[in-house]
Structure 1
Amino acid sequence: MPESPRSSDSEGPGGTPLRACGRHCRCARSSHATNDLDTLLATPGFSGSLLGADVTAVAGRLPLLDQVVGVTVAGPVLMNAVGMHETPVGSGGAIRCRPSRITLRINPARLGSALITDPAAHIPPTLRLFDTDGNTAHATYLTERSDRLAFESLALGVGSADEERSVPDIGAFTTPEADRDAIGEAGTDQVAQFDAILDDGGAGRLTTFPGLRHSGHTRVESRRVIAALEHAALLGMPATLVTAAPGCLQMHHDQLDGAREHRGSMVIAGGTCRAMINFELVSECWVTWSDGVWGRTGSIELYDRHGRCSMVVTQTGPVSMAAFEAWNQLVTDVAD
C-alpha cells in the first residue's frame, strides 16, 4: 500500500545512514517481492523503519503504546480489537484474556522482524510484527489515544529512562510452572492446545485428530459451526476467540454480542473485538476437547486448505459453572 514519501530512504531517524544490506536492511527490495515485508519495502514512496531490535523485545514494548487497534490475519480469519496490549506471553505461559485488553501469545522462533511505518493517506502509524517468511503476524495501529512518544522511541531504537524501567522483564517469554493457569495432564490441557498451534500452525495437531475420535474429537460441517456461533451470540455466552497467525495467537475473551453470516462470510462481535471469517476458505472444522479451569472443555477449531489452524473458539478463565455447562452442551450438539 502506498505510503507518504520520506526525504531519503537511505537515512534512518535523525538522518543516521543505514547499512547497505543485511538482516536489518531498510532499503526497498524492488525485485521479486514475495511476501508482505518485501512488498511494503518495495512500494514507491515507502516511509518507515525496519527495527534492528530483537522482535521479542519490540513485542515487550507493546503495552507502552496505550490505546491501539490490534489486528491479526490468519488465512480466512481476520481479528481486530481495540484496547491496550497485555505483555505478550510465550509457550508454556499462563492463559490470561481480559476484556478491553489485546492479548498475544507468541513463539519467538517463528517471528522474524518488526517494522514501523509512518502515517499515509487513511492509514495511521503502524507497528508490524513479521514471521520468519516475511509475512505479517500481527499489526498494531495507533489511535488518537496512543502514546506517540513510546512509538517514536521504537523508531529511534531507544527509550527514556522511565520507559526502560517500565518495560517488564519478559526474558524468553516463558512463565514459571507454578504460574500456569491450565489444569490437566501434559498435552491435554488448554496450554498444550494453544502451544501446539503456536509451534507449527497446528498442522501436526490436525494429523492426530482422526485417531482421537474416542476422545470426542469430531470433524463437523461448517454450516453447523455457523449455526452454533450464531446461537452462542444470541444467548450472550462468554467465549474466547483465538486467531492463529504464524508465530502469534491473538486472543480475546468476552461476552459475545452478535454474530451474522451472509454467503459464507461471518462476523462475530464480543466487546471491543470483531472477528471476520470467510468459511469459503475454511477447509476443515473440528470439535476438540482439552482440560480447562472447570475440566473437560470443548473447542471449535477452523483449518485452512494448507492444514493450518486459523481460529479457535472456546472458553478460558473463570467463567461461571452455568456458562461453562451451556458452552459444553452447545459444542456437544455441534458434534452430534
Structure 2
Amino acid sequence: MSVIESTTATLAERWAQFKLENPKSRIRDAAGQLGISEAALLATQCTTEADAPVVRLTADFPALLAAVPTLGHVMALTRNDSVVHERKGPYLKVSFNGPTGLVLGDDIDLRLFMSHWHFGFAVNENGRRSLQFFAQDGEAVHKIYLTEASNTTAYDELVNRFRAAEQTPELATQPAPEATPETPDADIDVPGFREAWRQLTDTHAFFGLLRTFGVSRTQALRLGPPELVQRLDNEAIVRALEAAAATDLGIMLFVASRGCIQIHTGPVKRLVATGPWFNVLDPDFNLHLKLGDVAETWLVKKPTTDGLVHSLELYDAHGRNLLLFFGKRKPGIPEQDAWRELVNKL
C-alpha cells in the first residue's frame, strides 16, 4: 500500500527548525529523528519556481545515468546505516542489462540494481549541487555530487532534460520489502552446502550457492566449511586497514545500499578515528565506518580457478552486510601474496 508522506508546510517548517537546532546534522539523521523518509524531506523543497532548491526528476534512471559522464569529475556516494563510501572521479562505461547496470571506471566502480530506484532529485544545498536517488520507502540508494572540477553547464542541461512534469511536495512511498525469515539450521543440508562451497570456481557463484541451499549470509558463515571461515574480533578491520596503509597495498572495499554496490580499488593512506567513526580520509576516497555497529567479523575463503580468494566481511546485529574487504585483484590473476599474509595475521 502506498503512503502519501505529508510534505505540508508543517513538515517543511519542522525540518527548517531541526536544521537551526542541529546545524551539523545530516539529512539522513534528521529524517530518522523526524520520523519521515529522507526523500520526503527533500520533496518539501520542490516547487514550480525556477530557483527551487530541489527538482524532482523523471524515473528514466538508466538514461539519466548514461548522461552522467558528461558531468566529468564528480563524487559518488553510496552508504548503509553504518558505512559511507565516497569516491571521486568520472562516471565511465555506463551500461545496463535489464534491471542491472554497471559503471566501470578505474575511479568510480558501481553495480546498480535498478528495481530499487524509485525517486530522483536534483538538489542544491547552498551551492552544493547533487543528484540523489531513493528506494520505494524513501531511503537513499545513491548520490552524485558535483566537485570543483565538474561541468556545471552539463549538470544544468541534464536537470532540465530529466525534470519531471509535476513538482509536487508530496511523495507516495511504500514500505521496504520485509526480509525473508532465516531457515532453521536444522533444515539446512549442511554437508551438501559445505561440499558445494569447496567446489566453487568463481566468487560470484557464492550468491547462487546461498539461494540453492536457502541460507542467509551470516548463516552461511556459521555453517560453512570450518577450514574456509573464521570468526574474528571486531577490531580486525582497523588492524587490516592500518596494515594495508602501512605497506601501500592495493585493496578493494565494497559498500552496498539496496540499489547500489560501490567499490574502491587502490591503496588507502590517511586513517583517522573520530568519535564512533573510523575513517579513510584520502583526496579521492573517503570511508566512514561506525565501529560500534559491527556485530560480526569473518575471514572468508572462496575457491576459484585462480586459487583461494580471501575476504574480510563485516555484519551488523541484524545480519546485514556492512562492508566487504578484498585484496586488489582481477579475474584470471591469482590473489596477492601480501594480502593473504595480511589477513592470515589477523
The alignment's TM-score, normalised by the length of structure 1, stands at 0.70
Mind listing any 5+ residue stretches in structure 1 that lack a counterpart?
1-21, 160-183
Equivalent residues of 2:241, 2:268 under 8 A apart: no
Is residue 231 of structure 1 aligned with residue 234 of structure 2?
Answer: no
Is residue 120 of structure 1 aligned with residue 133 of structure 2?
Answer: no
> How do residues 35-54 of structure 1 correspond to structure 2 at under 5 angstroms?
35-42=37-44, 47-54=53-60
- How many residue pairs match? The answer is 280
Q: CA deviation at 1:194?
A: 7.9
Equivalent residues of 1:293, 1:317 under 8 A apart: no
Q: Hey, what's the Cα distance between the residues in 1 that align with 2:209 and 2:248? A: 29
Helix, strand or coil at the partner of 1:295? coil
Q: Hey, what's the Cα distance between the residues in 2 that align with 1:215 and 1:94? A: 34
> How do residues 149-164 of structure 1 correspond to structure 2 at under 5 angstroms?
149-157=153-161
Which residue, 281, 284, 290 being the options, matches 1:272?
A: 284
Q: 1:259 to 1:321 in 2, by over 3 A?
A: farther
Which residue, 200, 207, 216 being the options, matches 2:228?
A: 216
Q: Hey, what's the Cα distance between the residues in 2 that align with 1:188 and 1:262? A: 41
Q: Hey, what's the Cα distance between the residues in 1 that align with 2:228 and 2:206? A: 15
Q: In structure 2, what residue type is equivalent to 1:303?
A: Y
Deviations 1:282-333 (A, max 9, x none): 2221211235684311111112233211211112434998971110122222
Aligned to 1:111: 117
Q: Hey, what's the Cα distance between the residues in 1 that align with 2:100 and 2:132? A: 24
> How do residues 79-228 of structure 1 correspond to structure 2 at under 5 angstroms?
79-88=85-94, 98=106, 101-117=107-123, 119-121=124-126, 123-157=127-161, 189-192=202-205, 204-228=216-240
Q: In structure 2, what residue type is equivalent to 1:120?
A: E
Q: Hey, what's the Cα distance between the residues in 1 that align with 2:277 and 2:54? A: 33
Q: CA deviation at 1:223?
A: 1.6
Q: 1:328 to 1:282 in 2, by over 3 A?
A: same
Q: Hey, what's the Cα distance between the residues in 2 that align with 1:109 and 1:322? A: 34
Q: 1:111 to 1:217 in 2, by over 3 A?
A: farther
Deviations 1:9-67 (A, max 9, x none): xxxxxxxxxxxxx99x9994666862110121135986222211322332232222111
Q: 1:42 to 1:271 in 2, by over 3 A?
A: closer
Equivalent residues of 1:55, 1:113 under 8 A apart: no
Which residue, 259, 264, 268 being the options, matches 1:252?
A: 264
Deviations 1:109-141 (A, max 9, x none): 222222111x332x5111012123211111111
Q: Hey, what's the Cα distance between the residues in 2 that align with 1:60 and 1:196? A: 32
Larger radius of gyration between Structure 1 and Structure 2: 2
Aligned to 1:55: 61
Helix, strand or coil at the partner of 1:60? helix
Aligned to 2:29: none
Q: Hey, what's the Cα distance between the residues in 1 that align with 2:320 and 2:290? A: 15
Equivalent residues of 1:51, 1:154 under 8 A apart: no
Is residue 69 of structure 1 aligned with residue 75 of structure 2?
Answer: yes
Equivalent residues of 1:75, 1:304 under 8 A apart: no
Aligned to 2:182: none
Helix, strand or coil at the partner of 1:214? coil
Equivalent residues of 1:239, 1:316 under 8 A apart: yes
The alignment's TM-score, normalised by the length of structure 2, stands at 0.68
Q: CA deviation at 1:231?
A: 1.3
Equivalent residues of 2:94, 2:103 under 8 A apart: no
Alignment root-mean-square deviation, CA: 3.8
Comparing 123-132 and 258-267, the one that deviates more? 258-267
Which residue, 255, 278, 281 being the options, matches 1:243?
A: 255
Deviations 1:92-121 (A, max 9, x none): 8889562xx21111111222222111x332
Helix, strand or coil at the partner of 2:300? strand
Helix, strand or coil at the partner of 1:59? helix
Q: Hey, what's the Cα distance between the residues in 2 that align with 1:296 and 1:92? A: 28
Comparing 60-69 and 318-327, the one that deviates more? 318-327
Mind listing any 5+ residue stretches in structure 2 that lack a counterpart?
12-33, 164-196
Q: 1:94 to 1:141 in 2, by over 3 A?
A: closer
Q: In structure 1, what residue type is equivalent to 2:120?
A: A
Q: Hey, what's the Cα distance between the residues in 2 that align with 1:270 and 1:193? A: 32
